[in-house]
C-alpha cells in the first residue's frame, strides 16, 4: 500500500526569532518608504559620447504652471539649445488644441521666447499617452531633420522613471534618453503623510510595473505602434 503521509521536522522561530524578523521587516519597510520617491522621481540627464550634456530638452506639455516655471530655469542651467513640447489633445475648454501647444505658448511668454521652441502635438489615440507623445516627437524630429541622438525629457516628479522608460521604448537603444523631474508642491518625499502624494506615488508605481510587464507596442513605424490597434480592425 502506498504511503500517504510522512512525518517531517519543521523549524519555527522562537519569540526572540520573531522579534528579530519583525525588526528586520520593519527596517526594510522604512527603507523602501524613504527610497520610493527617489526611485520614481528620477534625475539622470543624458550624456553624449564626448561627455557633453544633451542639447535638446523635451517638456511634457501637461505640466502645470509651477512645473513650467521650473522648466525655464532648468533650460537655462542646462545649456540646452532647443525645446520641444509634447502632448495630446486638450479635451476640456481651452484656447489651445493640445497640451503641447499650451505649454509652448506659456514658455514663450515666460522666459524662452528667444530660443528655438517647437510644439509637437500628438492626436487622440488608444496608445499610452506618454508613449504616443514620444512616437510623435521621434517622427517629427526625423521628418524635420532635428538631431535627437541625445536628449532629456522633463516631467513631473514621480512620473519621471516611467516617462524615461516609454521614451526609450519609442526611440530605441541607439538614442541617449535622459530624464529630469520637477519638484512637486506636495511632500512626496514623505508621501505617507499626504493622501494626494500617496495616491500619486502609488499610481505611478503601479503604472511603472504594468509598463514593464504588460506594455508591448507595435514595431517602430508601424500602424499598431501609433494607434495601438491593428489596421485591419479599424
Which structural domain, as residue segments, surrounds residue 114? 38-233
Kindly tell me if the per-residue pLDDT of 234 is higher than 60.
Answer: no
Task: Grade residue 161 by pLDDT with cuts at 50, 70 and 90.
Answer: very high
Cα 64 from Cα 57, distance rounded (Å): 17
Number of domains in the chain: 1
CATH number, position 194: 3.40.50.620
51-55 mean pLDDT: 88
178-199 mean pLDDT: 80
Beta-sheet strand order (sheet of 150-156): 117-121, 82-87, 56-60, 150-156, 176-182
Query: How is residue 156 written as a grid cell?
Result: 513631473
Kindly tell me if the per-residue pLDDT of 232 is higher than 70.
Answer: no
Query: How is residue 216 written as a grid cell?
Result: 508591448
Q: What is the value of pTM for the model shown?
A: 0.87
Q: Which residues pair with 178 in a beta bridge?
A: 152
Kindly tell me if the per-residue pLDDT of 14 is higher than 60.
Answer: yes
29-52 mean pLDDT: 82
For residue 69, being part of any structural domain is answered with yes
60-71 mean pLDDT: 95
Amino acid at each position: 500500500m502506498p504511503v500517504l503521509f510522512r512525518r517531517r521536522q519543521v523549524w519555527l522561530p522562537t519569540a526572540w526569532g520573531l522579534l528579530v524578523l519583525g525588526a528586520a521587516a520593519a527596517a526594510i519597510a522604512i527603507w523602501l518608504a524613504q527610497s520610493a520617491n527617489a526611485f520614481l522621481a528620477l534625475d539622470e540627464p543624458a550624456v553624449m559620447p564626448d561627455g557633453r550634456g544633451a542639447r535638446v530638452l523635451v517638456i511634457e506639455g501637461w505640466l502645470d504652471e509651477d512645473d513650467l516655471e521650473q522648466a525655464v530655469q532648468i533650460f537655462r542651467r542646462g545649456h540646452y539649445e532647443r525645446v520641444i513640447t509634447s502632448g495630446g489633445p486638450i479635451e476640456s475648454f481651452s484656447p489651445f488644441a493640445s497640451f503641447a501647444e499650451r505649454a509652448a505658448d506659456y514658455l514663450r511668454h515666460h522666459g524662452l521666447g528667444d530660443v528655438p521652441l517647437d510644439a509637437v502635438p500628438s492626436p487622440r489615440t488608444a496608445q499610452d499617452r506618454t508613449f504616443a507623445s514620444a512616437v510623435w516627437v521621434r517622427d517629427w524630429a526625423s521628418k524635420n531633420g532635428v538631431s535627437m541622438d541625445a536628449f532629456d525629457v522633463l516631467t513631473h516628479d514621480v512620473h519621471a522613471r516611467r516617462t524615461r522608460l516609454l521614451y526609450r521604448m519609442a526611440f530605441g537603444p541607439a538614442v541617449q534618453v535622459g530624464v529630469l523631474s520637477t519638484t512637486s508642491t506636495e511632500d512626496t518625499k514623505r508621501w505617507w503623510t499626504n493622501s494626494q502624494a500617496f495616491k500619486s506615488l502609488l499610481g505611478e508605481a503601479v503604472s511603472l510595473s504594468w509598463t514593464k510587464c504588460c506594455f508591448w507596442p507595435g514595431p517602430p513605424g508601424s500602424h499598431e505602434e501609433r494607434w495601438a490597434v491593428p489596421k485591419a480592425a479599424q
